[in-house]
Structure 1
Amino acid sequence: MEDKTAEEKTAEEKTASLTILRTAGLVEPEFFQAVADVVRRYNLTVYLSTTQNIRLLEVRESDRDEIMRELAAKGARFKGQVKFPLAKTCVSRPHCKLGKFDTFALAQRIDEHFQGWEKIKPKIKIAISGCTAACSGPMTTDIGIVGTPVGLDIYVGGKLGALPKLGRRIVRRADEDRVIAVIEELVTYHYNQPGKKLRMFKLINNDDFPYPEAV
């Protein structure tokens, strides 16, 4: 039996995806160029995920570490390195006439506040919408923030999937400081519950849930 060529071995090598995390889905031109260079050099496919991240497909195991080193040098963070979820964010003000506040700024503030946060379990998702049109799905995710003319409303316990649920509005007319405080309270409560991979909708009817009533 003939030995396989290098090309045949490469073709058979196991591949996987590599997800690059982007706060609020924002990408600077220089970083876009760095990703494009890597994609061309390693013959990859780019997928822009529904969670507003960049996913590189068909990454060979032998190339993975080098790709991560190259992109990390340009400021990339990767799934698995960051525990706290990045908020899914609509464009809002000043890019949308319906937007009531700067969603990008709030997403950045949340990211910075919870940088390095260790007390977090999987399955928490956050969404931010600049208005009640709710384009980013804040009412159907674990923690949602919605802009209104008089402040920010906070929802908890929403979900999509085969049996979607609307979240419970627990706070009205909040400012950004209150939003940060409530998120911290909710993720801490979630972390302290027994079990793994819990969605918020399973917890909001607990006797000790901090926000038992809709407002």
Structure 2
Amino acid sequence: MRFTLDMKLKDVMEANPKTAEAMQELGLHCLGCAFSINETLANAAQMHNLDPNVLLEKVNSAEQGELSAAAAAKAQPAGGILQMDKTTYSIAPHIPAGVVTPEILRKIADVSEKYHAQALKVTSAQRIAIVGLLPEDVPKVWQELGMDPGHAIGLCVRSVKVCPGNTFCKRGLQETLALGMEIDKRYHGMKLPSKFKMGVSGCPNKCTDAATVDLGIMGTSKGYHLYVGGNGGVKPRQGNILLENLQKEEILPVMDSVITYYRQNAKPQERLGRLIDRIGLEGLHEFAENALH
């Protein structure tokens, strides 16, 4: 069969396991990667800055057959992220809103100790990364943890950072934890034109970077402000205030409208802030306002 750019990596590799070796030669180590195998060939090419036609020709010209032992040994274990030493892996279990129970902490500690993890690292996305695992141990660790991977890479909603809000923080002006959990459940891992980050802050201190993520919520004395288009990185961008003093029940419909507008108008791998810089904020503002009526 001839593969096409709209086919998913997992379907390509299932049809011909040898294509995984062909992709490895181009620098794609997608076999077994929980974050990548559901991407299309076209998206995989974009993520790795490859000409899509080069990738397509490579997989279509691959010899039909089973994966070699050498290629299988190089395959990235599901949910694992290769580390600097090019030998060990880290994993980052998903922790919605950064809230954990003592039982979860004990389980992470016990499993990490059992498999001789080199370190536990609290990440900026409010997860606990287990660092320095052998590739053959990664599936066992996931099985014993019984937790889902956090979407640390890929063209999707990678994280929803949430502060304690007025549930716990003396400076909190609005509720954040229940709202953040609902936002996480609704959007985490959602496929989008580029990576996408969210933050929910209960006051103008914005401890979860609500003004410097793609879509941020900030509590005020009268409701919630909604920020769009922020990002960090080598070209940081301050977010724009899209709407002010939203009530809690208005937030999800407005967020849905922002996501829809972004999907309809963004170029591949274009962050929301770059989209706003390219076409302006007015169209998005009108689109979001309509979601309230």
TM-score above 0.5: yes
Deviation at 1:80, TM superposition (A): 4.4
Deviation at 1:198, TM superposition (A): 2.0
Corresponding letter in the other structure for 2:258: L
Counterpart contact for 1:13–1:61, Cα < 8 Å:
no
Q: 1:55 aligns with which of 129, 141, 158?
A: 129
Distance 1:84 1:158, change over 3 A: closer
Counterpart contact for 2:218–2:225, Cα < 8 Å:
yes
Give the 3-state SS of the residue equivalent to 1:203 in structure 2.
helix
Distance 2:111 2:191 in 1: 34
Distance 2:265 2:88 in 1: 36
The alignment's C-alpha RMSD in Å is 2.6
Q: 2:211 aligns with which of 127, 130, 139?
A: 139
- Scaled by the length of structure 1, what TM-score is found? 0.82
Give the 3-state SS of the residue equivalent to 1:160 in structure 2.
coil
Aligned to 2:234: 162
Aligned length: 199
Distance 1:140 1:107, change over 3 A: same
Say yes or no: does 1:105 pair with 2:178: yes
Deviation at 1:20, TM superposition (A): 0.8
Distance 1:202 1:118 in 2: 20
Aligned to 2:102: 29
Deviations 1:106-152 (A, max 9, x none): 1111123347x755344111011100111111111111100000000
Distance 2:130 2:285 in 1: 39
Deviations 1:136-172 (A, max 9, x none): 1111111110000000000101122333221110111
Give the 3-state SS of the residue equivalent to 1:17 in structure 2.
strand
State how 1:85-96 maps to structure 2 within 5 Å. Answer: 85-96=158-169
Distance 1:13 1:49, change over 3 A: closer
Moved over 3 A (4+): 80-86
Distance 2:251 2:126 in 1: 21
Corresponding letter in the other structure for 2:185: E
- Scaled by the length of structure 2, what TM-score is found? 0.62
Distance 1:47 1:39 in 2: 11
Distance 1:59 1:34, change over 3 A: same
Deviations 1:148-201 (A, max 9, x none): 000000010112233322111011111222211121112222223453332111
Give the stretch that moved more between structures: 192-201 or 130-139.
192-201
Corresponding letter in the other structure for 1:101: Q
Give the 3-state SS of the residue equivalent to 2:284 in structure 1.
coil
Give the stretch that moved more between structures: 79-88 or 137-146.
79-88
Give the 3-state SS of the residue equivalent to 1:211 in structure 2.
helix
Say yes or no: does 1:186 pair with 2:258: yes
| Gap runs ≥5 in structure 2 | 1-84, 287-293
More helix by share: 2
Distance 1:157 1:194, change over 3 A: closer
Deviations 1:56-93 (A, max 9, x none): 11111111111111112xxx110349954431112221
More strand by share: 1
Deviations 1:18-64 (A, max 9, x none): 11111111111111111111111011111110110111111111111
